[in-house]
Structure 1
Amino acid sequence: MEIRHTTNPTDVKQYDTERLRKEFLMENLYEKDELKLVYSHYDRMIVGGAWPVSKELLLDAGDGLRTEYFLERREIGFLNIGGPASITVDGEAYELDKLDVLYVGKGKREVKLASKDSSNPAKLYFCSALAHKELPTRKMTREEANPLNLGAQETSNERVLYKYIHADGIQSCQLMLGVTSLQTGSVWNTMPSHVHDRRMEAYLYFDMAEETRVFHMMGEPSQTRHLVVANEQAILSPPWSIHSGVGTSNYTFCWSMAGENYTFTDMDVVQASELK
């Protein structure tokens, strides 16, 4: 498990591209038949990827958490971005198609990840946060996530937002998770931008063509920076940072949050005219 420590905005002003990518970009979340984990000191979020092709993978952090099992003090949300998946939680199996989500609460001892078809393997993205109480395991399909149409062609941000884990959806302790998909011809997400100093956020960009890229915007509103992101790469977004992006084509991304506040709309909007 890789460890990422926190940074402060004063120091980040001095970072070059290489250092920005080292601190905030996760480039290689998917390797066949492996579980990849990144532990962030931002609100103790764990971000990871699993690509079970020819074998079943066990959710395990080794001795990284110093707990008896992964979810002893944690909750987790899984998003399937590949072929049909099977997730077994303490002996009960849940099948996930693409863009289905499974929430597993604190206290579940054994979680196994597998593909239904090795010729069309699943790819599972997951985010885990600390939890203070046990909540039931629950699956939600993309259709059940109550798609919300946002934006317009005129502003190049026509998109569909799917909220899965939140106060009015799958219940959790502090984790929130959803997916936003941009329509053909739209390239901007989260503009006007915002910050929410009470919680961190993680982004996974996916469903991108090999040659396309997203320019992910970050930094303080008065000191913006960018990271060039390829398909199935993820970003850690600090609480003090804006998080927005523009692509060379349309794309889809998963957003997840953890921290002090459990209100989806708790954000401080930063208009484009205020950015520097």
Structure 2
Amino acid sequence: MERRYASHPREVKQFDTARLREEFHIPKLFIPNHLELVLTHEDRLIIGGAFPIAEEIKLDMDLKELGVSFFLERREIGIINVGGKGVVVVEGQEHELDHKECLFVGMGNREVIFKSLDTESPAKFYLNSATAHQSYPTQKATLAEAESADLGSIENSNDRTIYRFIHQNGIQSSQLVMGMTLLKTGNMWNTMPVHVHPRRMEAYMYFDLPEDAVAIHLMGEPSETRHIVMRNEQAVISPSWSIHSGVGTSNYTFIWGMAGDNKIYSDMDPVNMKELL
């Protein structure tokens, strides 16, 4: 598991492109038959991907980094499948996940296994794991079951649908909040006008991007913005002091996950567009 430290906004002002990407950009999540994990010290969120093709993958790692005897001893995890049909086995019970379906697994579950149902169209499980103080039941949600909202407009190039899976009024968790935003054809902007939420950090994973397309992820303090070029199935860490917005060369989908002091999706501090530099 890779470790990323937290960065102070005064330091980030000095970062060049390479350093910015080194600190916040996660370039590869889905390695065949491998579990890829990145721990950020921003609220101790773990961001990862499991890509089982011919083999099962266990949610396992060198646990010295976490100081526990099994991965979910003091953690919970949200899983969204961005590939073909797959199965997540939790304590021997199978949970089938189709494309863009979500599974929450609560604290205390010792065994979690990832499998694909078809090696020709393997599952790709995107993971967010946060620390937990209470155990909540394992629960699945489809797009149809998620709380959804249509936002934006074609005039502003941000006509999109937000699906909330793990949140205050949906799947219950200790602190993890997780969902997905789908931009409609012809729309490129997300989360504009921008905001920050100082009480929670966030991570984005961009996907459904064509091979020759990019998304420009905007971050930084409102008065000191920076950008990171993102390609398909790449993730980015957004500290609590940073804006998190983006624009693509085509429409795309992204998964957002948050951890921090509360689970209130609407707890955010809007930024006046005149203050954005």
TM over 0.5: yes
Aligned-pair CA distance for 1:154: 0.3
Q: RMSD of the TM alignment (CA)?
A: 0.7
Aligned-pair CA distance for 1:274: 1.4
Aligned-pair CA distance for 1:261: 1.9
Aligned-pair CA distance for 1:147: 2.5
Counting only pairs closer than 5 Å after superposition, residues 13-32 of structure 1 correspond to structure 2 as 13-32=13-32
Structure 1 CA distance for aligned equivalents of residues 110 and 262 of structure 2: 27
Is 1:3 aligned to residue 8 of structure 2? Answer: no
Q: How many residues align?
A: 276
Aligned-pair CA distance for 1:121: 0.1
For residues 174-223 of structure 1, give each alpha carbon's deviation from its aligned partner in whole angstroms, at most 9, with x where no partner exists: 00000000000000000010001111000000011000000000000000
Aligned-pair CA distance for 1:227: 0.3
Is 1:42 aligned to residue 47 of structure 2? Answer: no
Structure 2 CA distance for aligned equivalents of residues 72 and 113 of structure 1: 18
Structure 1 CA distance for aligned equivalents of residues 127 and 55 of structure 2: 18
Q: Is there any run of 5+ residues in structure 1 with no aligned partner, and where?
A: none
Structure 2 equivalent of residue 87 of structure 1: 88
Counting only pairs closer than 5 Å after superposition, residues 161-180 of structure 1 correspond to structure 2 as 161-180=162-181
Aligned-pair CA distance for 1:149: 1.0
Structure 1 CA distance for aligned equivalents of residues 251 and 42 of structure 2: 29
Is 1:242 aligned to residue 243 of structure 2? Answer: yes
Structure 1 equivalent of residue 270 of structure 2: 269
Structure 1 CA distance for aligned equivalents of residues 107 and 197 of structure 2: 26
Structure 1 equivalent of residue 226 of structure 2: 225
Secondary structure of the residue aligned to 2:6 is coil
Structure 1 CA distance for aligned equivalents of residues 195 and 76 of structure 2: 26
Aligned-pair CA distance for 1:272: 2.2
Structure 2 CA distance for aligned equivalents of residues 95 and 176 of structure 1: 21
- The letter for the 2-side match of 1:12 is V
TM-score by length of 1: 0.99
- The letter for the 1-side match of 2:49 is G
State the identity as a percent: 54
For residues 20-53 of structure 1, give each alpha carbon's deviation from its aligned partner in whole angstroms, at most 9, with x where no partner exists: 0000000011110000000010001000001000
Structure 2 CA distance for aligned equivalents of residues 85 and 150 of structure 1: 30
For residues 135-188 of structure 1, give each alpha carbon's deviation from its aligned partner in whole angstroms, at most 9, with x where no partner exists: 100000111113311111000000011000001000001000000000000000
Structure 1 CA distance for aligned equivalents of residues 92 and 32 of structure 2: 24
Counting only pairs closer than 5 Å after superposition, residues 1-276 of structure 1 correspond to structure 2 as 1-63=1-63, 64-276=65-277
4+ runs of 1 displaced by more than 4 Å?
Answer: none
Secondary structure of the residue aligned to 1:43 is coil
For residues 68-126 of structure 1, give each alpha carbon's deviation from its aligned partner in whole angstroms, at most 9, with x where no partner exists: 11000000000000000100000000000001000000000000000011111000000
- The letter for the 2-side match of 1:122 is A
Aligned-pair CA distance for 1:271: 2.6
Secondary structure of the residue aligned to 1:99 is coil
Structure 2 CA distance for aligned equivalents of residues 274 and 154 of structure 1: 23
Deviates more, 1:101-110 or 1:263-272: 263-272
Structure 2 CA distance for aligned equivalents of residues 221 and 70 of structure 1: 36
Secondary structure of the residue aligned to 1:143 is coil
TM-score by length of 2: 0.99
